Amino acid sequence: MPEQEPDEQERARKGLGQVIVLPRFSLPFPSEIHPDTDSVIAHASQWALTTGLVPDQEGVTRLRRGGIMTAGPRLAPRASFAVACLVCDWTVWLIVLDDLFDSGELGAQPELARIAIEDVIAAFRGRPQGPARIGGIAGISAAAADLGRRFTAQSPGPAWLIRFRRDAEAHIWSKVSEAEQRAAAGFLDVPSYVALRRVTSAAYTYADIAELAERAAVTERARQSPSWEWMLAAAADVWLGIQDICSCAKEVSAGDGGLNLAAVMARSAGSTVQQGIDDAYRWVCQRAGDLAACRAHLAAAPLPGGADGAPGAAESRYLDALERLLGGHLTWNSKDNPRYPQAIPLA
């Protein structure tokens, strides 16, 4: 057999030119969808147009064709209609923001990214908006301002709103961190990547949304428990792992493998992308097991009672909602999203 040239060896290691296959997920999370999904999607379509998130009806059509609108109803299947619309709009907004940074110059130029995100966060906080300093941001900022107002109106309480805004702004700001990582052209090890990805995947933001969607008011004392923190970390890892496995081929083909768990695992182990996907799936299954163990531990030692006074009742409702959130996330990424087919050729 003729010896491969170095660039051919690198392509082979990455799996380029080959077909990679995603795992057949078997995770213990129920998946539901909101009963008013069609109406929620209709609302999100009009909202995206009205706020200027998309410029015209063709922009709305692209969002609907891409399966993006279905994510929200999957993630808040038992929410009131108003909250379901809010979660759907938020999710659509995040995906539009991510796509802008993933595919354009903003995602590779940290200083431009910083200016853009400063404007977006200012709008999200409700500050008066001047002219956009970066092209393509005006509609995103207008939509962010609307979302900020609505989350404040729907908030179950001041503590929740403070926590949600902290987590949401950390996620929005992480667009700058990702731009810095791309510009540096470096590679993170697995633990460093996971720590970053817990923020960039919006895992903690959606963990907050699970509490909002089902009005499961977890006490602040419960949240300060180490067991609760371990549980949230395990849930975040399941969330980010699902997301990265399903998007791996798309990101590697686009040259963005440095910001994908499966690709990072493959590089760290000196293996192929397919092996990285398989390793990432084993890790996700392990973290799902950790989540189940945390829940069993919490059930054996109930945390202080919630607002209704029943020991652990609010926390139990929240954990049920969190598992439905993960199940909806899995279904949307692995089945509903046409951008993430099961078998994908790497260019």
pLDDT above 50: residue 108: yes
Taking the C-alpha atoms of residue 118 and residue 47, their distance in angstroms, rounded to an integer, is: 23
Taking the C-alpha atoms of residue 161 and residue 150, their distance in angstroms, rounded to an integer, is: 11
Instruction: Confirm if 258 and 188 have CB atoms less than 8 A apart.
Output: yes
**Confidence at 292, pLDDT banded by 50, 70, 90:** very high
Taking the C-alpha atoms of residue 100 and residue 96, their distance in angstroms, rounded to an integer, is: 6
Taking the C-alpha atoms of residue 231 and residue 225, their distance in angstroms, rounded to an integer, is: 10
pLDDT above 60: residue 347: no
Tokens of 234: 């395990």
Mean pLDDT of the chain: 87
Q: Which of 5-14, 48-57, 63-72, 337-346 has the highest mean pLDDT?
A: 48-57
What is the average per-residue pLDDT within 41-69? Answer: 93
**Helices and strands (H and E) in the chain: how many:** 15, 2
Q: What does pTM read for this prediction? A: 0.88
pLDDT above 60: residue 39: yes
What string of DSSP letters covers 86-154? HHHHHHHHHHHHHHHHHHSGGGG-HHHHHHHHHHHHHHHTTPPP-S-SSTT-HHHHHHHHHHHHHHHHH
pLDDT single digits (tens) 8-29: 455 554 555 578 888 999 999 9
Q: Which domains does the chain have, with CATH numbers?
A: 33-182 (1.10.600.10), 187-341 (1.10.600.10)
Catalogue the long-range contacts made by 282-286 (C-beta closer than 8 Å, 24 or more residues apart). Answer: 283/237, 283/241, 284/27, 284/237, 284/238, 284/241, 284/242, 284/245, 285/26, 285/27
pLDDT above 50: residue 1: no
pLDDT above 60: residue 82: yes
What is the average per-residue pLDDT within 44-49? Answer: 97
pLDDT single digits (tens) 125-179: 999 877 777 777 899 999 999 999 999 999 999 999 999 999 999 999 999 988 8
Taking the C-alpha atoms of residue 291 and residue 287, their distance in angstroms, rounded to an integer, is: 6
pLDDT above 60: residue 95: yes
Instruction: Confirm if 176 and 153 have CB atoms less than 8 A apart.
Output: no
Q: How many residues does the chain have?
A: 347
Instruction: Confirm if 336 and 67 have CB atoms less than 8 A apart.
Output: yes
Taking the C-alpha atoms of residue 288 and residue 27, their distance in angstroms, rounded to an integer, is: 7
> What is the SS3 assignment for 34?
coil
Output the CA angle 334-337-341, nearest 5 degrees: 65
So what's the pLDDT on residue 129?
A: 75
Phi, then psi, of 81 in degrees rounded to 5: -60, -40
So what's the pLDDT on residue 223?
A: 83
Task: Residue 242: name the closest of 272, 212, 211, 206 by CA.
Answer: 206
Taking the C-alpha atoms of residue 297 and residue 276, their distance in angstroms, rounded to an integer, is: 31
Instruction: Confirm if 31 and 328 have CB atoms less than 8 A apart.
Output: yes
Helix (H) or strand (E) holding 325: helix 313-331
What Rg, from alpha-carbon coordinates, does the chain have? 20
pLDDT single digits (tens) 232-277: 999 999 999 999 999 888 777 766 567 899 999 999 999 998 999 9
Tokens of 32: 């539901």
So what's the pLDDT on residue 222?
A: 81
